Amino acid sequence: MHMMDTPLLLTGFFKRAERYFGHKKIYSRTGPETMHEFTYKEYAERTRRLASSLTKLGMTRGTKIATFCWNDHRHLEMYFAVPCSEAILHTVNIRLSPEHIVYVINHAEDDVLIVDHTLLKLIEAVAPLLKTVKTFIVCGDAVDVSATTLPNVYSYEDLIQSGDPTHVFAEDFDENTPAGMCYTSATTGMPKGVVYTHRSIVLHSFAMMFKDSVALSEHDIMLPIVPMFHVNAWGMPFVCVNLGATQVLPGPLFTPELLLDLCEQYGVTISAGVPTIWLGFLQEQKKKPRDLSSLRLIVSGGSASPISMAKAFEEMGITFYTGYGMTETSPLVSVSIYTSQTEQYDYEERMDIRTTQGLTVPLVEARIVNENGDVPWDDETMGELIVKGPWIAAEYYRDERTNDAFKDGWLYTGDIAVYTKDGNIRITDRTKDLIKSGGEWISSIELENALMSYEKVAEAAVIAVPHPKWLERPVACVVVKEEFKDTVTKEELLDHLRQDFARLWIPDDVVFLEEIPKTSVGKFLKQQLREDLKDYQLPE
Amino acid sequence: MHMMDTPLLLTGFFKRAERYFGHKKIYSRTGPETMHEFTYKEYAERTRRLASSLTKLGMTRGTKIATFCWNDHRHLEMYFAVPCSEAILHTVNIRLSPEHIVYVINHAEDDVLIVDHTLLKLIEAVAPLLKTVKTFIVCGDAVDVSATTLPNVYSYEDLIQSGDPTHVFAEDFDENTPAGMCYTSATTGMPKGVVYTHRSIVLHSFAMMFKDSVALSEHDIMLPIVPMFHVNAWGMPFVCVNLGATQVLPGPLFTPELLLDLCEQYGVTISAGVPTIWLGFLQEQKKKPRDLSSLRLIVSGGSASPISMAKAFEEMGITFYTGYGMTETSPLVSVSIYTSQTEQYDYEERMDIRTTQGLTVPLVEARIVNENGDVPWDDETMGELIVKGPWIAAEYYRDERTNDAFKDGWLYTGDIAVYTKDGNIRITDRTKDLIKSGGEWISSIELENALMSYEKVAEAAVIAVPHPKWLERPVACVVVKEEFKDTVTKEELLDHLRQDFARLWIPDDVVFLEEIPKTSVGKFLKQQLREDLKDYQLPE
């Protein structure tokens, strides 16, 4: 061994914060009116106490500990206490259906379940169906565990109290040791599990610390709006601890008003979340402007951001990045930074770049491929985005569906994209929503965006309908804004599209609906829409 | 395997520049009046050609290729052509004595030696003594290999010409594969070899891309003044290629005037080198000011920087970092960034921090230890700095001296340091130069800095002299500035020291010299000084 065999472990992140940034602060909103505030020194001590108590309860290498919690300081304690003990943190999505909650906990074979007291009822209802959980832990400020129906139950704060603040973590285990798990919803069937390792989390964290990426710093004050049960809140809690960055954890059920108040009050410099959050954020800021002068960067991801959103932040002097990734990719694959070339572009072009999925970060390799191989950088030729890299999953956990997505060492993302002329990734569709018409690929998302930019349209979804000659043809499903009801014609909408799209792309028909069916997180449920329209006949 | 088993390889760096930054530029000064300019696309093509030709000449996994070259584009081509072929690049220090040059090449068992035409005579002189080199390659713009006495010799440019521009690199080899070698001078005996691996270089590069570090970016225009035969020019060529940053390579034998001209002409944003370089740089800028408005950062390392240097750059609006490291550490161990706390300090305190060796970068662990264990953060208690991490060597290459420096998984740096109250490392001495007097440790460097801040003193070195009661006592060796010759008294100098140091620290004597003996790179040769003074008697 020429160089030291130092494994890439989360214990190193934890020790760094403890050693150098003990004075730094973590703020954690534990309820509508309560803000818990403590230092990294106190955080580290509580985390060691927690690890010690969990170890006494039987946690050892490979033990799976499920969490059912919000973005708060206790969840952050679990984020390190568990993996630093060589155990595995399974963050369960609290928004899953009871059936899926039971499935993921049983499938992961979780041994312990830590649940926030505000979510206790959801777990009590399914507890009898959980086959492997032997121990329950309830967290909250003043929890009375005698009041719950859960068996073998402990109070989180009691465990902290009885824990050893000098508990020592091992530092010499294999960097490929599993550290965390997260399940992602599937189009059909049960959620699919992804297992993150110490190595994958450490390297992914670095990708967020690069200057040519999110450039997270100790100087940052981070408000993570992505839930900590969703792809590790995009990995931000790990990075923040490594850096000793100030964290402002928003806790349960927040509103745009609250987020803005937190930004102003704590001088937040960076925040990350889905576009819906930023829409509400911008509306609220317009209604009642806060001092956001400390805010340097917004990272938006999870679905497409409209250019108007990028412009609104830009005009406030706040950089707006679109990031791309998924549960399988830890998630960071690419981010819409400017290069020394694209920063010279004019305003409209720059704002357009901010809404692309951006440039691949170092160590991740991405290709966009169709039946002719790699697509050219022409902003036009579509293909499926495939990726590989050290923080990209190699499989779904004990799941036959692995073979559908992982082939020849690449993850097939199921996203259809083009490369812009500068090498930025621009997602144009999901593979399953793409319309394939007479050899041409038609992007449903581009048509939808164009329809929704028309002032009379509230929502629009474009789907493929079978066609005898062209195989598939696009049909637009449109919800008209209340004030324009019954005043919009099909031709008017199609004319609007004809300004920007080739003839082949223009939908064969427009169907007016009262509502577009949606998933629990507000994405269009096109599968449902296709089902609803299965008896629909194209006009002659 | 839960996550993809993607090795950390330099081939990934190379492909990234080629794929995304083909349009970016590399400038390479190949002679006093010649500036070669090409794009990363051309760079990548020439690098593939070189690899193909070297492969035809027999280069394969593990082949050792020595270089004897300046900071220019050809050396940069070798930097990737060789390790991306799983071979090992041994960058030989052109300033070594002929005896040491022969030793390192024979000890490494280099198969091929690539030499710049301007350095040909040095190699011709020792060629008969090289036991393993089978092939010589001479580089330069118009090289006539028939004129050299070297056997089995090729012209570098001929090899480029005959090489295959589509040559393919493997991408699936072990990340612990050796990529490079560098020998470091030893206090006694022959130089000691360090072997860098793909993993160590990739991770070290990341440490230079973090926002809370050097924050290298694609937007940067880098002028590396550290030689590419010295710890891989501190790793900068690797980082720059990964990022697609513009490089301005200064070539052979440059002057302060030239460096300033390059900064102005190419809009250099960052440069790195030793303090002597910056001293000349500042003097020249005073004499003939250039437009340095593009320059954002100077990184200084290798020896201590005076606070006046930090202030001079700061006053020009240029951030000044002191970095710490050595050949054994790739080199980056720590860098004098501000934290959110220290950036609030007043000017003098901030400038002081800039001249400390700074905060340890992520993944490197550092301790300062003496016989009582870890020293407190009191800016006072001295101990030896020991480090570990994934880019710290685990051994000297085939060398018994490994056991002197590598113990219990730590590298003992041989540097004596304190921790400031904020956790910054401040080097106070070399272990071998430290003065141990009656149980107290006295820093020779602190006394020297104080003496050299006295206006009449040109140079000062403080060494230990044996003492019957105190074991050792400090003696100051002083060179007086020409204009103050014969007007300075010992008492005057000791009085100057008494203002700042405790009685025990005040040297027992001052010896006036014409010159302090120095190493080839201008460091005080205290070993020689101790030898010269071996018959010296302390005053009663």
Mean pLDDT, all residues of chain A: 95
Query: Cβ contact (<8 Å) for B363 and A12?
Result: yes
Q: Which long-range contacts (CB under 8 A, 24 or more apart) does B483-489 make?
A: B484/B456, B487/B456, B488/B456, B488/B457, B488/B512
Helical (H) or strand (E) element with B383:
strand B383-388
- First and final CA of chain B: distance in angstroms? 73
Query: Do B437 and B472 contact (CB within 8 A), yes or no?
Result: yes
Query: Cβ contact (<8 Å) for A341 and B219?
Result: no
User: Strand ranges (DSSP E) for A58-213?
Assistant: 64-68, 88-91, 112-116, 135-139, 153-155, 178-184, 192-197
The 3-class SS string of B322-380 reads EEECCHHHCCCCEECCCCCCHHHCCHHHHHHHHHCCEEECCCCEEEEEECCEECCCCCC
Angle at A114 between CA A111 and CA A118, to 5 degrees: 150
A241 → chain B, closest CA residue: B362
- Nearest Cβ partner for A359 among B2, B20, B195: B20
Q: Which residues in chain B touch residue A216, judged by CB atoms under 8 angstroms apart?
A: 211
Please tell me what DSSP assigns to residue A239: H
What ipTM was predicted for this assembly?
Answer: 0.92
Q: Which residues in chain B touch residue A1, judged by CB atoms under 8 angstroms apart?
A: 176, 394-395
Give the per-residue pLDDT at B520: 65
The partner residues of A460 in beta bridges, in order of sequence, read A478
Query: Cβ contact (<8 Å) for A340 and B199?
Result: no
Distances (CA, A) of A418 to A336, A339, A358, A427, A538: 14, 19, 11, 7, 29
Give the per-residue pLDDT at B453: 85
Instruction: State which fold the B434-532 domain adopts.
Output: GMP Synthetase; Chain A, domain 3 (3.30.300)
Distances (CA, A) of B320 to A177, B350, B358, B379: 40, 11, 12, 21
B210 → chain A, closest CA residue: A210
Give the per-residue pLDDT at A520: 64
- pLDDT by residue (tens digit) across A101-125? 999 999 999 999 999 999 999 999 9
Q: Which residues in chain B touch residue A341, judged by CB atoms under 8 angstroms apart?
A: 23
Query: Cβ contact (<8 Å) for A6 and B392?
Result: yes
Most A CBs within 10 Å: which of B1, B2, B204, B364, as the mutation test of the A interface? B2
Query: Cβ contact (<8 Å) for A409 and B4?
Result: yes
B328 → chain A, closest CA residue: A3
Quote the CA–CA distance of B327 and B314 in Å, as a whole number.
Answer: 28
| Minimal C-alpha gap between A348 and chain B (Å) | 21
Q: Which residues in chain B touch residue A217, judged by CB atoms under 8 angstroms apart?
A: 211-212
Quote the CA–CA distance of A430 and B449 in Å, as a whole number.
Answer: 66
Q: What is the DSSP string of B137-174?
A: EEESSS--GGG---SSEEEHHHHHHHS-TT------S-
Quote the CA–CA distance of B450 and A267 in Å, as a whole number.
Answer: 43
Please tell me what DSSP assigns to residue A318: -
User: Strand ranges (DSSP E) for B420-470?
Assistant: 425-430, 435-437, 440-442, 457-467
Quote the CA–CA distance of B324 and B335 in Å, as a whole number.
Answer: 6
- pLDDT by residue (tens digit) across A303-361? 888 899 999 999 999 999 999 999 999 999 999 999 999 999 999 999 999 999 999 99
CB atoms within 10 A of CB A206: 24
Query: Cβ contact (<8 Å) for B3 and A196?
Result: yes
Give the per-residue pLDDT at A178: 98
- pLDDT by residue (tens digit) across B230-245? 999 999 999 999 999 9
pTM: 0.93
Give the per-residue pLDDT at A521: 63
**CA A422 from centre of chain:** 26
Q: Which residues of A are catalytic?
A: 184, 328, 436, 441
Distances (CA, A) of A512 to A151, A486, A488, B529: 52, 10, 10, 93
Quote the CA–CA distance of B410 and B332 in Å, as a whole number.
Answer: 16
Q: Which residues of B are catalytic?
A: 184, 328, 436, 441
Give the per-residue pLDDT at B460: 92
| Minimal C-alpha gap between A411 and chain B (Å) | 9
Give the per-residue pLDDT at B524: 82
Joined tokens for residue B498? 């008494």
Quote the CA–CA distance of B127 and B146 in Å, as a whole number.
Answer: 16
Number of H helices, E strands in chain B: 17, 27
Lowest-confidence range among A25-29, A210-214, B254-258? Answer: B254-258
Most A CBs within 10 Å: which of B211, B335, B398, as the mutation test of the A interface? B211
Burial B285-308 (b: 16+ CB within 10 A, else e): beeeebebeebbbbbbbbebbeee
Average pLDDT of the residues in A17-38:
95
| Minimal C-alpha gap between A137 and chain B (Å) | 28
- First and final CA of chain A: distance in angstroms? 73
Closest CA to A268 of A16, A14, A27, A18: A27
DSSP SS3 for A294: coil
Residue ranges of the alpha helices (H) in A216-306?
A: 231-234, 236-243, 256-266, 275-287
Query: Do B10 and A400 contact (CB within 8 A), yes or no?
Result: no
User: Strand ranges (DSSP E) for B176-315?
Assistant: 178-184, 192-197, 221-224, 246-249, 270-273, 297-300
Give the per-residue pLDDT at A525: 85
Quote the CA–CA distance of B214 and B335 in Å, as a whole number.
Answer: 8
Query: Do A75 and A247 contact (CB within 8 A), yes or no?
Result: no
Quote the CA–CA distance of A301 and A303 in Å, as a whole number.
Answer: 6
Residue ranges of the alpha helices (H) in A296-340?
A: 307-315
Give the per-residue pLDDT at B175: 98
Closest CA to A500 of A439, A454, A467: A454
CB atoms within 10 A of CB B508: 15
Query: Do B64 and B78 contact (CB within 8 A), yes or no?
Result: no
Quote the CA–CA distance of B520 and B418 in Å, as a whole number.
Answer: 28
* Below-70 pLDDT ranges, chain B: 520-522
- pLDDT by residue (tens digit) across A151-167? 999 999 999 999 999 99
Query: Cβ contact (<8 Å) for B388 and A200?
Result: no
B5 → chain A, closest CA residue: A390
Q: Is the pLDDT of residue A24 over 80?
A: yes
Q: Which residues in chain A touch residue B1, judged by CB atoms under 8 angstroms apart?
A: 176, 394-395
- Residue B36: CA atoms inside 13 Å, Cβ hemisphere, count? 19
Label residue B347 exposed, middle or buried (CB < 10 Å: 0-12, 13-18, 19+): exposed
Would you place residue A32 in the very low, low, confident or very high pLDDT band (cuts 50, 70, 90)? confident
Query: Do A364 and A407 contact (CB within 8 A), yes or no?
Result: no
What angle do the packed helices B236-243 and B198-209 form, to 10 degrees? 70
What amino acid is encoded at A48 in this protein?
R
Average pLDDT of the residues in A33-47:
96
- pLDDT by residue (tens digit) across B306-325? 899 999 999 999 999 999 99
Query: Cβ contact (<8 Å) for B340 and A8?
Result: no
Joined tokens for residue B351? 């400038």
Joined tokens for residue B354? 């800039």
| Minimal C-alpha gap between B230 and chain A (Å) | 18
Average pLDDT of the residues in A495-519:
91
Query: Cβ contact (<8 Å) for A2 and B211?
Result: no
Most B CBs within 10 Å: which of A1, A6, A334, as the mutation test of the B interface? A6
Quote the CA–CA distance of A328 and A185 in Å, as a whole number.
Answer: 11
φ, ψ for residue A307 (rounded to 5)?
-60, -30
Query: Cβ contact (<8 Å) for B16 and A362?
Result: yes
Label residue B132 exposed, middle or buried (CB < 10 Å: 0-12, 13-18, 19+): middle
Give the per-residue pLDDT at A272: 97
What amino acid is encoded at A472 in this protein?
E
Give the per-residue pLDDT at B22: 97
| Minimal C-alpha gap between A150 and chain B (Å) | 32
Query: Cβ contact (<8 Å) for B393 and A340?
Result: no
Give the per-residue pLDDT at B449: 86
| Minimal C-alpha gap between B253 and chain A (Å) | 31
Give the per-residue pLDDT at B523: 76
**CA B169 from centre of chain:** 29
